[in-house]
Amino acid sequence: MRILLLVTAFNGLSQRAWCALREAGHDVGVQLATGAADIIDGVRRAEPELIICPFLKDRVPAEVWRHWRTVIIHPGPAGDRGPSSLDWAIAEGARSWGVTALQAVDEMDAGPVWATRTFAMPAAPPRKSSLYNGPVADAAMECVLEVVAKAADPSFRPTAQKESQTRPLMTQKDRAFDWSDPTERILRTIRAADGAPGVRTEVGGLDVFAYDATPGLGRRFDKKPGQIISRRQGAVLVGTGDGSLWLGHLRAAGPQHPRAKIKLPSTTLLGARLRGVPHSPLPVDVEPESPAAYRQVRYRRAGRVGWLSFDFYNGAMAPGHCRRLLAGLRHAAAQDTSVLVLRSGTDAFSNGIHLNVAEAAPDPAGTAWANIRAINDVCREIVTCTKQVVIAAYAGSAGAGGVMLGLGADIVAARDGIVLNPYYDIGLYGSELHTFTLPRRVGGDRAQELVDGKLPVSAARAVTLGLADEVGPRHPDAYGEWLTALAERESDPRAARRRRQAKARRLAAERVPLEVYEARELAEMSRDMYADRSGFAAARHAFVHKTRATETPARLLFESVSRPRRHLLRPAIPVSA
């Protein structure tokens, strides 16, 4: 089938749908919603048999939905309508939620139902971004595949909605809280707005939007609610009515602030306002695995397996994140274990250097340069580790240099459902030792295709390409169990010794030192960062400020525009009674 994805942005869910439909044998193209006229022209040129909208904030032009079957993927159960579906679900503590595939009609979210799925909501308030990229995305993909199957059935008729409730756009007035409120209420409020639009409040005397909230210590401090208690790893600990809350990221709300509209680590934004605020050591009376300890990198040992877990907000890695991960890797490599598992959080494995931090810096080019040097140090530590079998566990999706980060491991183990998107179109040549690791995994020609194509790859496809070695179950808990079994299997002393020795021999046989590969990459990166030869400055600014695209990139269009098509201009299917 010839399927067009009509999207506001080619986000994670859109990429996942693009991969799955192509792998199922369909001809898939993308049209960005850059304006009604552009949408109509793009659809006419594409002449699709079916239009699916996995992520669309804009209204579908009537000229489109009246002539082409158009199905909207709405992040709410059947009967739910409105633009703040997930926000309300989290804020009100819904016990279950869902996703519904609706046929586009004149009224938003009012069309007949093609497919629907429901799922249980987590007991603890989830981040909206985590909910969207996890249970919502899984349910949405089931709906997408069901829609495609039904579209091929000429007897199918979608079902009219029997009851519906339109929820209004959630405003900052709806999200308002007081720092004297209980921690759980503040946590739920902030997470219902994460990653956009955030919740407006005051921190350190600055008007901000708050994100990335984590429960702090439950005991009271000699600080009033709303006052900053301490800081740690880029986050600040703020007092609440019954305890405290870590805030990892803030965005200045005042338009006159020099860093307005840029979401940054809290300590980076607050800067001199934190003078006198103590750095928080790890509390001795808090379990290391407790969120209250606020550790972005954690190490634990289980028999012959060492587990190094890291979780960076949105997968962005500033120099400080890289240094913490590097320290963790060196500590883990010094332990007497057979296997080292480098596991990310489920939100993201890594998305490479922290573009927001670079954009907000007085010297963006210099900051980006320091960032790429720091992330390369992490990559080198992985490539040269021969004391343990290294498993890079991609529990979350990865993009740009974050895809390349773990390729020097002995085993790349991806979770089903994630997407790997090598090197965005951001005006950078790329480093992360990819000229050394990528060709050794996929071959020289395929490596060049991946870097030049800048197109997403599913976990299953990554294995066929050699980009990954293993794919584990989709559900995070099942993936954790599967990964534990994999690590235990690889920790067999003789098998581990053979694998380590083989890696050591390969490294020793390399005629060109690793430093040469990095030097060549950095020579190219210096031209991009300092001379801006490929438009890095403008692309970085557009990425950070979420500037809407003005046209659909050619790489996302249909591969073929001239082959015979079936059912051209097929009208929308009528609704069943």
**Which pLDDT does position 294 carry in this prediction?**
86
- Identify the DSSP state of 231: E
Structure tokens at 145: 């595949």
pLDDT score of 68 = 97
pLDDT at residue 569, rounded to an integer: 31
**What's the pLDDT at 292?**
62
* Residue-level pLDDT at 462: 98
Residue 111 is encoded by which pair of tokens?
A: 């069309």
How far apart CA 432 and CA 514 sit, in angstroms, is 11
For residue 104, what pLDDT is reported?
95
CA distances from 564 to 26, 47, 288, 485, 560 (A): 14, 11, 61, 49, 10
Between the alpha carbon of residue 557 and those of residues 15, 32, 212, 532, 551, the distances in Å are: 13, 10, 35, 27, 11
Tokens 């870097």, residue located: 451
Amino acid at 437: T
Q: What is the pLDDT of residue 574?
A: 40
C-alpha distance from residue 117 to each of 73, 87, 242, 426 (Å): 11, 18, 38, 36
Distance CA 350, CA 312 (A): 8
d(CA 152, CA 51): 13
Distance CA 423, CA 432 (A): 11
Q: What is the pTM of this model?
A: 0.93
Count other C-beta atoms under 10 Å from residue 418's C-beta. Answer: 27
**CB of 340 closer than 8 Å to CB of 391:** yes
Quick check: helix, strand or coil at residue 3?
strand
pLDDT for position 291: 59
Q: 552 vs 31, 46, 412, 422, CA distance in Å?
A: 6, 12, 32, 19
How buried is 377 (Cβ within 10 angstroms: 0-12 exposed, 13-18 middle, 19+ buried)?
middle
Q: Are 449 and 443 in contact (CB under 8 A)?
A: no
pLDDT in the model for residue 26: 97
Task: Write out the H or E segment, with its range, that includes residue 393.
Answer: strand 389-394
Token digits for 311? 């979780």
Q: Which residues pair with 80 in a beta bridge?
A: 165
Where the chain has pLDDT below 50, the residues are: 284-286, 561-577
